[in-house]
Amino acid sequence: MKDFGEEKARSRNGGRLASCMGGVFLFLATLVVCNYLLDLFGPSLHPPAFAQKLKHIEESEVAYDVVFIGSSYVYRQLNPDVFDEEMAKQGYDLRSYNMGFPGLVFHEMDQLLDDLLAIDSNQLRWILVDAANMDVNRKRQNRLTSRAIWGATPGHTWSYCRGILASSDPWPQKLGILLNQTVSACARSLHIGTGQGLINQTMSSGEMGGALDSTEVLQRGFFSLDQSRDKNDLIQIRRRNAFLRAASKWPRRVERFRQQAPDSTELSKEYLRAAYSHQVQKIHNHGVAAIYVLSPCLHPHFRIEDLAKEGVIPKLFAYNLPEDFPELYAANMRSNFNHLTEEGADLYTRQVARDFSAYLKEIQ
Amino acid sequence: MLFTQPIFLIYFALVFCLHWTIQRNSARKVMLLAASYVFYAGWDWRFLILIAASTIIDFAVGLILRAPRPVLNRKVWLVLSLSANLGILGVFKYFNFFVESAHGLLTAVGVTLEARMFGIVLPVGISFFTFQSMSYTIDVYRGRIKPVRSFTDFALFVAFFPQLVAGPIVRAATFLPQLAIRRRLSDVMFKGPIALFLTGFIKKVCIADNLAPVVDSVFADPGAFDVVSIWIAVLFYAAQIYCDFSGYTDMAIAVARLLGYELCLNFSFPYFASNIQEFWRRWHISLSTWLRDYLYISLGGNRGSKLFAMRNLMLTMLLGGFWHGASWNFVVWGGLHGFALVVHRIYQETVGGNRYVAGLMKMFGIVLTFYWVCLTWIFFRATNFADAYTCLKAFVIFQSPGQATLGPELLWWLPPMILAHWIMYRRPIEERVEQVPNWACAIGYGLATFFALLFLRFGYSQFIYFQF
């Protein structure tokens, strides 16, 4: 009697297990379908500032010929007004726009390029790409920001992860970064938190994920590190003060870098080659020419320079050597260790414009 | 480890599998106890010392109380147990408050002394487990239950992780008998608990956590906001605290049910109460019944004159308010509820029997009660009396010096919340899902999870009641 009861209970448990598995399948299928539909018909996942700049390009009456894209090296240092003015002096009537965002890492840039090139109305002919920031999103606190989520498409996450694996970081750090990317990718696939802005507009957005509140900045896309402009930017003030305290040591630092550059922190050359050739091809496929720029800062970029020599990177403007551009490395032109002041940015932009016009003359 | 964090789901999946894989009841209980201690140590392992101390003292006192010939008078042992528990609570929760209040009082009368505060960290859930543990000793003393012989059973009763940090405050009489019987997986109804867990999750992460920034912004500086914004903040806070706390309880009950145990009901749609007495029968039921059984009745309850009973009521609510936190704001909150309960009792004894008055109360009771409860929440939420006064002025006489506004369109969030609350009030979700076919249930869970994740607010925030 007891055996019969146990057998019955076992068979009942078996039935429940089968029903449970079916339930789990339906549950997951519902989640996938809902998220897929939201992907198709839902609002864009762009961080507000990114969306604003893309929209500006899409709706602007000005047909931009040149766009600068990259991290703060672009956002803080390439002034479109100065560039256009200098190009006009050189005999070229061009309109440029700054699509830079602080901390923009390579894969974010790659996706931003996708969105930029997908704009039907644009008449872009050249894109000046910041070649310096081949970084990966490393910080744990960033993994659920709108920027991280926006950039975490399956394709880009896979690309990120390959980049991380190709890096020379220690394994515990690599695993931490891989976990961050996975969390961001899950958040994007499941649209985690994308509806929270409905009640309040304070979605955690990370640096520059929030909206641009200045029309002037939006018109040019450029925002210099002149202290008089933004007294509330405490991070920049802190960086500036740190630089001012150590300003006397700056020339020595430049000299040391000139004599012996530190080891490169770049990713493996094979990975860089694959990533850049993919990016260059993508830009070319849209009938646009890609020009890469190494901005004036004390970071070695041997591999990028090698890739330029190999022809993977079609054209490289390198300003990362103090001996070639001493005026850009003068302490009075620096806002902090990595960025130029507005005056420095002006000087730098004119230099880029002159090199660009020389390049145009060369190809003509 | 919070119920809303992915890590909890992994932890619970592990505990669930182990629990139902282990066949022997005693081994299961040991595993559950270890899991509960791991859960609690997730905050700070040092807190385990407190919970262990409280457990050992009350277990030992329980056995001594029912010994044929105890060494000392039983009352002495009871006082010893209560002193130990209240001592732990007093030191860890109220010490700095007492020092600060005494210092303030002495300064007011002209005595200047240096107040020395200690950097005491408030152990999470301390008020819950000490009250639970105390109720056992009192019940044994009163002869309502027999002392438990198994230390594991008693330790698990005190530390059972689903209800450890924010209740419900479970009674030994209802929980210990459940531990004596081996739970069977085949007896567990899955649909109801999963629906209940999802409901709690949505309440917490989608509603409470999304309302919190709005509430926080106003209560950070209420003087800067206009009347409408303060009204929005107060109403949102009422929704936030309900969704936060009842959401936690829903999840706790669901988790316990998935392990085969039943916890007591803690909320029963309190904002639909038509009077303040009914509100307290629906809000934090396990605390209000605890206060009634162990404090109000111990103070004399309804015995004696009406005035005496009202005094007991007032004292109970003042202490109930004080239980929530070491701040005069909570005492005032409790006092306001006590006052309302006294007024309600007077009303019942005077005009309550009148047909017309009863009819009127039926019509306006819910709104009046809700308004009063919201008014008391101001003291609960405000960080100081000045802010509370500013909010109170806006809430009662529609006056505020501030100009900043949140935008009245936020009020549109209230009707859907009320509607959802009313639908669930008509029939609880866990009852509804039991009638639904399994496939429809799975799709429903998928949809609920989709919406829950969509509105999930980044950055896990603690449950409000964890601080108590």
Q: Contacts of residue A43 in chain B, CB cutoff 8 Å?
A: none
Taking any CB pair shorter than 8 Å as contact, residues of chain A touching chain B are 9, 12-13, 16, 19-20, 22-31, 34-35, 38, 144-145, 190-196, 198-200, 202-204
What are the pLDDT tens digits along chain B (468 aa)?
Answer: 788 888 899 999 999 999 999 989 899 999 999 999 999 988 888 888 888 998 999 999 988 888 777 667 888 888 989 999 888 888 877 777 777 777 777 887 777 777 666 666 678 788 888 889 999 999 998 888 888 989 999 999 999 999 888 878 999 889 999 998 888 888 888 888 999 999 999 998 888 888 888 888 888 888 888 888 899 999 999 999 999 999 999 999 999 999 999 998 899 889 988 889 999 999 999 999 999 999 898 888 888 788 888 898 999 999 989 888 778 888 999 999 999 999 998 888 887 677 777 778 777 889 999 999 999 999 999 888 888 999 999 999 888 887 777 777 778 888 888 888 888 888 888 888 888 888 899 999 999 999 888 888 766 566 666 666
pLDDT at B458: 65
Q: What distance in Å separates the CA atoms of residue B412 and residue B417, rounded to the nearest whole number? A: 9
Residues B177 and B195 in one domain: no
Catalytic pick among B324, B337, B344, B421: B324
Residues B174 and B201 in one domain: no
Rg (CA), chain B: 23
Largest CA-CA distance found in chain B, in angstroms, rounded: 73
Q: With contact defined as beta carbons under 8 Å apart, do B130 and B54 qualify?
A: yes
Residues A218 and A292 in one domain: yes
Backbone angles phi and psi of B225, in degrees to 5: -105, 155
The DSSP secondary-structure symbol of B146 reads P
Residues A96 and A36 in one domain: no
CA distance A28 to chain B (A): 7
Residues 6+ apart with CB under 8 A from B420: none
Residues B198 and B330 in one domain: yes
DSSP assignment of B19-34: HHH---HHHHHHHHHH
Strands, sheet with A96-98, edge to edge from the N-terminal-most edge strand: A96-98, A66-69, A126-130, A289-294, A316-318
Better-scored residue on pLDDT, A181 or A8: A181
Residue at a domain's end among B185, B215, B238: B185
Q: Domain of A20?
A: 1-42
Residue at a domain's end among B139, B158, B185: B185
Residues A330 and A347 in one domain: yes
Cα-Cα end-to-end distance for chain B: 17
Q: What is the CATH number of the domain that holds A295?
A: 3.40.50.1110
pLDDT at A135: 60
Q: With contact defined as beta carbons under 8 Å apart, do B152 and B269 qualify?
A: no
Better-scored residue on pLDDT, B281 or A110: B281
Provide the β-strand partners of residue A68. Answer: A98, A128
pLDDT at A236: 66
B324 in catalytic set: yes
Residues B114 and B239 in one domain: no
Q: Which candidate in A7, A19, A27 is best for mutational testing of the B interface (most B CBs within 10 A)?
A: A27
Q: Report the percentage of chain A scoring pLDDT > 70.
A: 82
Cross-chain CB nearest to B186 (options A12, A38, A193): A12
Residues A2 and A83 in one domain: no
Cross-chain CB nearest to A27 (options B186, B210, B442): B442
The pLDDT of A257-262, averaged and rounded, is: 66
B455–A193 C-beta distance less than 8 A: yes
Q: With contact defined as beta carbons under 8 Å apart, do B159 and B130 qualify?
A: no
Residues A10 and A92 in one domain: no
Out of A146-155, A273-282, B137-146, pick the least confident: A146-155
Taking any CB pair shorter than 8 Å as contact, residues of chain B touching chain A are 185-186, 190, 210-211, 213-214, 410, 413, 438-439, 441-443, 445-447, 449-451, 453-459
Joined tokens for residue A125: 């002919």
Residues 6+ apart with CB under 8 A from B327: B97
Q: Contacts of residue B453 in chain A, CB cutoff 8 Å?
A: 190-193
Residues in chain B: 468
Q: What distance in Å separates the CA atoms of residue B230 and residue B393, rounded to the nearest whole number? A: 10
Note whether residue B1 is domain-resident: no
Residue at a domain's end among B159, B185, B211: B185
Tens-digit pLDDT profile for residues A160-196: 888 788 777 788 888 888 888 888 888 888 888 777 6
Residues B265 and B195 in one domain: yes
Which residue has 């990362």 as its token pair?
A: A320
Reported as a pLDDT band with limits 50, 70 and 90, residue A25 is very high
Residues A270 and A347 in one domain: yes
Number of structural domains in chain A: 2
Which amino acid is located at A309 in the chain? K
Q: What distance in Å separates the CA atoms of residue B201 and residue B244, rounded to the nearest whole number? A: 9
CA distance B441 to chain A (A): 8
Reported as a pLDDT band with limits 50, 70 and 90, residue A264 is low
pLDDT at A204: 40
pLDDT at B216: 86
Q: Domain of B165?
A: 6-185
DSSP assignment of B74-97: HHHHHHHHHHHHHHHHIIIIIHHH
Note whether residue A177 is domain-resident: no
Note whether residue B60 is domain-resident: yes
Q: With contact defined as beta carbons under 8 Å apart, do B326 and B94 qualify?
A: yes
Residues A4 and A129 in one domain: no
Q: With contact defined as beta carbons under 8 Å apart, do A319 and A328 qualify?
A: yes
Cross-chain CB nearest to B186 (options A13, A35, A192): A13
B443–A199 C-beta distance less than 8 A: no
Q: Contacts of residue B445 in chain A, CB cutoff 8 Å?
A: 23, 27, 30
Backbone angles phi and psi of A22, in degrees to 5: -60, -40
Note whether residue A66 is domain-resident: yes
Q: Which candidate in A25, A38, A199, A205 is best for mutational testing of the B interface (most B CBs within 10 A)?
A: A199
Q: Which candidate in A26, A32, A143, A191 is best for mutational testing of the B interface (most B CBs within 10 A)?
A: A26
The DSSP secondary-structure symbol of A341 reads -
Residues A37 and A74 in one domain: no
CA distance A24 to chain B (A): 7
A199–B211 C-beta distance less than 8 A: yes
Q: Contacts of residue B451 in chain A, CB cutoff 8 Å?
A: 195
Residues A109 and A12 in one domain: no
Tens-digit pLDDT profile for residues A64-106: 999 999 988 999 899 999 999 999 999 999 999 999 988 888 8
Residues B143 and B281 in one domain: no
Number of structural domains in chain B: 2
Find the residue in B nearest to A25 (Cα).
B442
Note whether residue A199 is domain-resident: no
B439–A193 C-beta distance less than 8 A: no
Reported as a pLDDT band with limits 50, 70 and 90, residue A202 is very low
**Contacts A–B by Cβ distance under 8 A:** 81
Q: Contacts of residue A192 in chain B, CB cutoff 8 Å?
A: 453-454, 456
Nearest-CA neighbor of B402 among B221, B178, B281? Answer: B221
B459–A196 C-beta distance less than 8 A: no
Residues B69 and B197 in one domain: no
